[in-house]
Chain A
Amino acid sequence: MLIYNRFYILIINYYVIATHENREVTLNEGQKAGKIMNSQSSVDLVELCKKIRLTLCEVSQKTKTPHLGSCLSSVELLTVLYWQELNIDPLNPEKSDRDYFALSKGHAASLLYTTLAYRGYFSIKDIYEHGKTGSQFEEHPGVNSPAGVEVVSGSLAHALGQFTGMALSAKIKGLSNRFYVLMGDGELNEGTIWEAAMFAAGQKLNNLVAIVDFNKWQGTGRSKDIMHMEPLEEKWTAFGWHSIRVDGHNISQITEALQQANKITDKPVVIIADTIKGAGVSFMEDDNNWHYRIPTTDEVIKIAQELALT
């Protein structure tokens, strides 16, 4: 596994890593990654997403931790955020003017840890400690999570309220930070989401962006069969938000939506991202068993082949 990890690190350092609006991004991992300006980023981020997917599957297999389907549906969303959008610095993870990201769907913790590792916050080998006793990488992000994890999650629908409070506080203090919250569609069942949604719109918090990973499944069923979901864009619009709908696996569309969000001045923005649960692995796609199932070692080999990362 260590060989794999080192391999990834080397590969990534050769990749053209995207930046956004002249924001320069420096890779960490103890490597001498250069500052690389933005260019045709989409292709490269696609490759990066494949590597993140394989690592997610390997971590799940090695550590016997679930929720792969939920992780895989959000890979592109986090990748675009962390490589193109967020004003962050892995070498200075608590810099005061940073943008904040909340993984509200905390059961996808492995995706957050993996993304942060690839982004250079800590070593990729560290995340193989996921779920172990004494590990910082708990199955849901806790208070002992490493720097880069901005909020505790696991109980659904807490983060939008917290980030609404943070966005409001930034306004009170005259700060320029922006706040991004990723939620699942099942999470929208929770009433507190809509308390926060109405308040944020009422206060015109244009520094707040909510993203819904709309993978059409929740823990034990089709989300639309349990609670009335659609029309989701209109629902958020009716709550006072600027709504954008994208293909949540299309890097260009995600990028454009986030750029558009930066230009909205009078309300918070929601990006409804249509995604596929288990995306990127043929035998996991749209199969809700992978909310809980753990892949076997043979399946991980198949996944590596599928992703052309053998």
Chain B
Amino acid sequence: MRNAFAKCLLALAKKDDDITLFYADIGNRLFNPLKEVAPERTINAGIAEANMASMAAGAAKMGLTPFIYTITPFTTARNYEQIKIDIAYENLPVNIVGTGSGLSYANLGPTHHSFEDIALMRSLPNMVVLAPADSQELTALMPLVAEDIRPCYVRIGKKNEPVVHQDLPALVIGEAHVVQPGEKVAVLSTGTIFPVAKALVEQLNLQGINAELVSFHTIKPLDEKYLYSAQKKFERLITIEEHNVSGGFGSAVLEFYNEHQLVIPIHRFGIPDHFIDQVGSQADARKIAGLTVESILGSLTKVLS
């Protein structure tokens, strides 16, 4: 997915002299092609993420279109106050890209996990929060992000995530993408956990439960139109995210229905409220977190039968 990011940014930078990348000393050779095309706009900000966020705000003030990029916890949690004040409060078009989000870097331990970033970013006024399901969704969103005048946070994976869309989907920021329509329940997924959601829908359909599969690539602004209609159409909703089950996408959905006093059973799946360590792979971390098809189906069996 990070390769798709670099490729998209290169394409954008070729067309637009304002596209500028700040990266915090990661991405060995990833940005070499960009450096060749726009060396002065490919800026290694050093291992100084707080300053990187402030500098990007300054760049936006001077008319550039900055992207800041590093591993997710370091460009969300570590520099949160700079994002809050310099970017969100000043409402500047800075695009924050976190790579290796969720449990992508499971083996590197809790320092490299990000299960709080959606909660942090969606609680900032003005901030758009995006979590594409795969490199195709990221590719579809990148030009929209570049031209959006709001601050945007883009939560992406690492590399070799499964491509779930055969073709480039037509996406609109703020509109949920229905991948497979259904009738009884809807599975709402955000980010790179999407293959689990897809497999879950397949299993539900095999069990005779007609399920809808949706990619909520935009967490904020939440697609309220979809949620209004979903409440009328489905018996229950299932949300899936590779993020703390509290405070993230599922919470945003709950808040929406509570705010509008609409009732529908909602089952949220995410990372339980504890640190995950001593794991060697993302697959193992997902097992521990209960973010597998088997685990989710097991939890749902009682209520769905």
Contacts and interface: CB of A to CB of B under 8 A. Distances in A.
A253 B10 CA distance: 48
Interface in A194-250: 195-196, 198-199, 202
A195 B61 contact: no
Given A152-B86, A155-B81, A202-B46, A172 B54 contact: no
A158 B63 contact: no
B95 interface: no
Contacts of A33: none
B101 interface: no
Given A143-B90, A143-B91, A195 B50 contact: yes
Contacts of A162: 54-55, 57-58, 61, 86
B119 interface: no
B59 A165 contact: yes
A288 B41 CA distance: 45
A58 to B, nearest CB: 30
A173 B58 contact: no
B187 to A, nearest CB: 40
A interface, by DSSP: helix, strand, loop or mixed? Answer: helix
A161 B55 contact: yes
A161 B59 contact: no
B43 A168 contact: yes
Contacts, number: 91
A162 B22 CA distance: 13
The size class of the interface chain B forms with chain A is: 20 to 34
B82 A173 contact: no
B54 A161 contact: yes
A171 B48 CA distance: 21
Interface string A147-164: 000001001001011111
Contacts of B53: 161
Contacts of B82: 158, 161, 192
A163 to B, nearest CB: 6
A199 B55 contact: yes
Contact of B54 (A142, A165, A175, A202): A165
Contact of B50 (A173, A192, A198): A192
A287 B274 CA distance: 49
B228 interface: no
Contact of A143 (B48, B59, B81, B89): B89
B99 interface: no
Instruction: Name the residue in A165, A167, A169, A198 with the highest tally of chain B Cβ atoms < 10 Å from its Cβ.
Output: A165
B40 interface: yes
A166 interface: yes
Contacts of A167: 58
A169 B86 contact: no
Contacts of B63: 169, 173
A170 interface: yes
Interface in B53-87: 53-59, 61-64, 66, 81-82, 85-86
Contacts of A158: 54, 82, 85-86
A99 B81 CA distance: 27
Interface of B: 20, 40-41, 43, 45-46, 48, 50-51, 53-59, 61-64, 66, 81-82, 85-86, 89-91
18 contacts: A152-B89, A152-B90, A161-B50, A161-B51, A161-B55, A161-B82, A162-B55, A162-B58, A165-B61, A166-B62, A167-B58, A171-B40, A172-B20, A172-B40, A173-B62, A173-B63, A195-B46, A202-B46
Given A162-B54, A169-B62, A195-B48, 6 more contacts: A143-B91, A161-B54, A162-B86, A165-B61, A192-B50, A195-B46
Interface of A: 142-143, 152, 155, 158, 160-173, 175, 191-192, 195-196, 198-199, 202
